[in-house]
Structure 1
Amino acid sequence: MRDLADIREEIDSVDKGILELFLKRMELACQVAEYKISTGKKVYDKKREEEKLDKLSSFVSDDFYVQAVRELYTQIMSISRKKQFAILRDNGFSFDSGFKRVDDFDFSDSIVCFQGVEGAYSQIAMDEFFKGKMKSSFHVDAWRDAMEAIVNGEADYAVLPIENSLAGSIEENFDLLSEYNVAIVGEQILKVEHALLGLKGAKIEDIKTVYSHAKAIAQCDEYIRTQHMDWDVKNLHNTAASARKIRDDQDITQAAIGSILNCKLYDLEVLEESIQDNKENETRFIIVSKDKKYKATASHISLCFEIPHEPGSLYRVLSNLMFNGINMNRIESRPIKGVNWQYRFFIDIDGNLNDEAVLNVLTGLQEECVSLRVLGNY
């Protein structure tokens, strides 16, 4: 049996040789990039890479090494592309996001819409974000109506919930972002304090039926399940609309789950405060606009893309982030309408559209994705 130290010394020697060959290969990849710049050819050549992988893997017979060779050279070719994308950027081939950089936003003449009736959490988020600087605001019945208001020019901005720290993503609004050509220009994180609201004079023991939005009900699941299993819980499209229903019906056996703000608006009283399961419950709202603009200080980018339906494509695409040192904060997938079992991806990354590393990432994504769209920088 050979001594371990001798084996490791030989491994070190082999690794040094591999490294020298790798650097030589990368130098050749740079020459390929220069050729592609002069001829206008795309960096990513799927057919060429597949042919290369098939040829290299044919040199080994063991099934383990066949897969290992494909994995190794997939990674090497991915690294080569990242270097070539950077060279393209150095030669003026910049990604055009379609967004305009501004120093700040002027909301003084703006009209803002939110989904729900007066007192909805979306209105509270709107007030927190705009701080009364807008010209006026109005509410719509559905999230799609808010998007339509933006596209049709009835509103300059719309406020939409996108995810909750407890109940998760608002899937419908991700779908709307992909459907409508709007831009995310800001976000507002709102701490959600759910209360049980009833008619004045009502007591908890009087309550038989409770109304609220499905997400709000989900956020109070433990409270309802462990303390009030006998309640008939019904979904309405909005928490504030639920509070309004309690006022309109004037039925002492009914209550709503919603913000305490609704007590004053709809002449109700709080039967119990802070009934949400997670006392640190927060909802993230996005502010969308038809105008694609971003502030010079923006540090958060949202992207939407579709990728080839094949093994390794998501890894290949996301490796653009790793090689450019960009942090990804979240990833979400949604089914592509009309195509079974294929998905569209939404990711949030750190950075600004003026950053070189971000532009390198976007250049790579544009080449390697079936489609790519910058949703916003805020």
Structure 2
Amino acid sequence: MSKPTTDKQATLAEARVRIDSIDHQLQQLISERARWAQQVGRAKGPLKAAVEYYRPEREAQVLRGVIDRNDGPLPDGELVRLFREIMSSCLSQQQPLKIGFLGPEGTFSEQAVRKQFGHAAYGLPLGSIEEVFQEVTSGNADFGVVPVENSGQGMIQVTLDMFLASKATICGEVELRVHQNLLSLGGKLADVQRVYSHPQSLQQCQAWLRINLPKAERIAVSSNAEAARMARSDEAAAAIAGETAARVYGLKTIAGPIEDRADNTTRFLVIGRGIFPPSGNDRTSLLVSVRDKPGALYDILRPLAERGISMNRIESRPSHTGKWQYAFFIDISGHVEDEGIQEALKDMEPAAADVRVLGAYPVALP
């Protein structure tokens, strides 16, 4: 498709005619893509469920190609979002994916679902992170999306603890820029006597609350959307939540964004029941229990360093197998099928009580 000429300013009428023509071409191409997606489905044969058609590694490769080809003016994130929605709609021709998330409707977890799977997927709001794991491992949900880390508040321990007992695997990751807003029914700061929110969000906004609402009671609830639901029936209350929750529950924005850190970002994990092939830019998550001996952790990490494998993250948690016993969650660059990682895992075995691959998945896209 041609770009506007620089030597002649197009009239408004000419620009609109050209846009109409481009829209027509886009619609034809999207329909053609959908028909070819049907052909892919037929080529795979009579699979049993939508989850069997979904290939996150292929999707990541396609979206990286979108970024590589982008020469503006739209930013990478916007183009990725547009193409994600096209792929979501094409996939749903077989059957929409069912994605569990921490509900109710309007949470940041739901926003992460839409960023990763598009709006053609079926969102399944659940009451807790534990329920998300249960619905995925039981097969009632194809995938789940759970928060695991915030850039300011660190790891979300309940998510890590679920991996100690659950058989769920990690199939992807989503990074979501989180903007917190103060919402209420009346929209006046002077009326606020109570503030409802998720504990993490209260922490993310504690400096703003201390300055602007020093006397207001802070009440922790299960999710920001639940906070918004409670605030809509309490004229003396406000909720800390996102813009989506404001729209869903009919609240007014008193102030926002009110998060203390300008880079406030939450990382979510996509959980499923299997490990997918490499995409070309991947991360592998490990759960390692060490033997009780001097230098045990060094012996675990040494094989990674010797092969030049970058460790992105390490977090320890009580292993629940005995008093003062710990397990380590380790994220490394690369896919578990890579030769170097396979060799490193083998070298870890003498020093480890147990090594479990939690997942290998594409690195988060914009």
Bin the TM-score by the shorter chain: 0.7 to 0.9
Q: Which residue of 1 aligns with 2:250?
A: 267
Cα offset, 1:322, TM superposition? 0.8
Instruction: Provide the C-alpha distance between the structure 2 equivalents of 1:275 and 1:343, rounded to a whole number of angstroms.
Output: 37
Instruction: Provide the C-alpha distance between the structure 1 equivalents of 2:154 and 2:199, rounded to a whole number of angstroms.
Output: 12
Report the secondary structure of 1:370's partner residue. Answer: strand
CA contact (8 A) 1:216 1:257 kept: yes
Instruction: Provide the C-alpha distance between the structure 2 equivalents of 1:309 and 1:227, rounded to a whole number of angstroms.
Output: 50
Of structures 1 and 2, the larger Rg is shown by: 1
The 1:258–1:102 alpha-carbon spacing in structure 2 relative to 1, beyond 3 Å, is: closer
Cα offset, 1:317, TM superposition? 1.1
Q: Which deviates the most, 225-234 or 190-199? A: 225-234
Alignment of 1:376 with 2:363, yes or no, is no
CA contact (8 A) 1:298 1:377 kept: no
Displacement over 3 Å in runs of 4+: 105-109
Q: Percent identity?
A: 32
Alignment of 1:119 with 2:106, yes or no, is yes
Instruction: Provide the C-alpha distance between the structure 2 equivalents of 1:102 and 1:290, rounded to a whole number of angstroms.
Output: 13
Report the secondary structure of 2:58's partner residue. Answer: coil
Provide the aligned C-alpha RMSD in A: 1.6
For residues 176-255 of structure 1, what are the structure 2 equivalents within 5 Å? 176-199=162-185, 201-247=186-232, 249=233, 251-255=234-238
Instruction: Provide the C-alpha distance between the structure 1 equivalents of 2:205 and 2:260, rounded to a whole number of angstroms.
Output: 5
CA contact (8 A) 2:113 2:123 kept: no
**Unpaired stretches in structure 1, ≥5 consecutive residues:** 1-100
Cα offset, 1:133, TM superposition? 4.5
Q: Which residue of 2 aligns with 1:128?
A: 115
Report the secondary structure of 1:276's partner residue. Answer: coil
Instruction: Provide the C-alpha distance between the structure 1 equivalents of 2:187 and 2:281, rounded to a whole number of angstroms.
Output: 48
Aligned length: 274
**Unpaired stretches in structure 2, ≥5 consecutive residues:** 1-54, 60-87, 362-366
Report the secondary structure of 1:144's partner residue. Answer: helix
For residues 1-378 of structure 1, what are the structure 2 equivalents within 5 Å? 104=58, 108=92, 109=95, 110-134=97-121, 136-199=122-185, 201-247=186-232, 249=233, 251-378=234-361
Q: Return the letter of the residue paired with 1:211.
A: Y
CA contact (8 A) 1:102 1:295 kept: no
Q: Return the letter of the residue paired with 1:328.
A: M
Cα offset, 1:367, TM superposition? 3.4
Instruction: Provide the C-alpha distance between the structure 1 equivalents of 2:354 and 2:211, rounded to a whole number of angstroms.
Output: 47
Instruction: Provide the C-alpha distance between the structure 2 equivalents of 1:103 and 1:207, rounded to a whole number of angstroms.
Output: 47
Report the secondary structure of 2:350's partner residue. Answer: helix
Cα offset, 1:298, TM superposition? 4.2
Instruction: Provide the C-alpha distance between the structure 1 equivalents of 2:225 and 2:117, rounded to a whole number of angstroms.
Output: 20
Cα offset, 1:178, TM superposition? 2.0
Q: Return the letter of the residue paired with 1:280.
A: D
Cα offset, 1:338, TM superposition? 4.5
Report the secondary structure of 1:293's partner residue. Answer: coil
Instruction: Provide the C-alpha distance between the structure 2 equivalents of 1:263 and 1:184, rounded to a whole number of angstroms.
Output: 31
Q: Return the letter of the residue paired with 1:203.
A: K
Cα offset, 1:245, TM superposition? 0.8
CA contact (8 A) 2:103 2:127 kept: yes
CA contact (8 A) 2:317 2:326 kept: yes
- TM-score for the superposition, normalised by structure 2: 0.72
Report the secondary structure of 2:277's partner residue. Answer: strand
Instruction: Provide the C-alpha distance between the structure 2 equivalents of 1:352 and 1:145, rounded to a whole number of angstroms.
Output: 28
The 1:238–1:102 alpha-carbon spacing in structure 2 relative to 1, beyond 3 Å, is: closer
The 1:311–1:346 alpha-carbon spacing in structure 2 relative to 1, beyond 3 Å, is: same
Q: Which residue of 2 aligns with 1:35?
A: none
Q: Which residue of 2 aligns with 1:3?
A: none
Report the secondary structure of 2:187's partner residue. Answer: coil
Report the secondary structure of 2:349's partner residue. Answer: helix
Report the secondary structure of 1:161's partner residue. Answer: strand
Report the secondary structure of 2:149's partner residue. Answer: strand
CA contact (8 A) 1:185 1:294 kept: no
The 1:257–1:368 alpha-carbon spacing in structure 2 relative to 1, beyond 3 Å, is: same
Instruction: Provide the C-alpha distance between the structure 1 equivalents of 2:56 and 2:353, rounded to a whole number of angstroms.
Output: 30
Cα offset, 1:229, TM superposition? 1.4
CA contact (8 A) 1:182 1:292 kept: no
- TM-score for the superposition, normalised by structure 1: 0.70
Q: Deviations over 1:296-329 (max 9, x none)?
A: 3241111001001121110111001111110101
